[in-house]
Amino acid sequence: MDTTDAIDSLLDAWRTARPDLDPAPLGLVGRVIVLAKKLERGVDAALEKHGLTLGQFDILATLRRSGLKGGLTPTQLLESVVLSSGGMTARLDQLAKDDLIARRADATDRRKVVVELTAKGRKLIDAATATRFEEAKNALPPLKPAERKQLESLLRTWLASRE
């Protein structure tokens, strides 16, 4: 089943406007960009039910995945969620204000700060994670399991080549 989409129209227009250039790579890259934006809007809508942004969810989920390790430093969080340090500080400030995280001095080095989930934060991230996982399941493409596995492998290869 081959269908056309807005990217096909864009490629046709470029072939007419600039026949000296090959717009074919835009077919794949453009579709990934458009799809990523649509998927992100779906995530945003799902998380809105919990009063969270994707950035806040990412921080809380990172803390939740860290388990009982005693929290993470802001630097460790920054490495995991790929934000600017200023963006991280602002998000941590808001999460602390909402009593979803707590900051404390590191037991081994009082100069370091450790960020941990509060009980309220853990309860919220557990509920939001269930919603997020369901949203991801509903966003899967209409492919057979073997096709999804192949697509995931191809995307993993592409992503690894860009890191």
**CATH number (domain holding residue 116):** 1.10.10.10
Give the span between the Cα atoms of 144 and 136, in whole angstroms. Answer: 16
**pLDDT of amino acid 120:** 96
- The helix/strand/coil state of 20 is coil
**pLDDT of amino acid 84:** 66
Between the two ends of the chain, the Cα-to-Cα distance in Å is 33
Q: Do 64 and 10 belong to one domain?
A: no
**pLDDT of amino acid 112:** 86
**pLDDT of amino acid 78:** 87
Which of 135, 117, 138, 121 minimizes the C-alpha distance to 48? 135
Residue 35: give the domain boundaries. Answer: 1-48
**pLDDT of amino acid 82:** 65
Q: Is residue 153 included in any domain, yes or no?
A: no
Q: Is residue 155 included in any domain, yes or no?
A: no
**Cα–Cα–Cα angle for 136, 138, 143, rounded to 5 degrees:** 100
Q: Is residue 148 included in any domain, yes or no?
A: no
Q: Is residue 159 included in any domain, yes or no?
A: no
Q: What is the pTM of this model?
A: 0.83
Low-confidence ranges of the chain (pLDDT < 70): 1-2, 68-70, 82-86
**pLDDT of amino acid 59:** 93
Q: Do 35 and 73 belong to one domain?
A: no
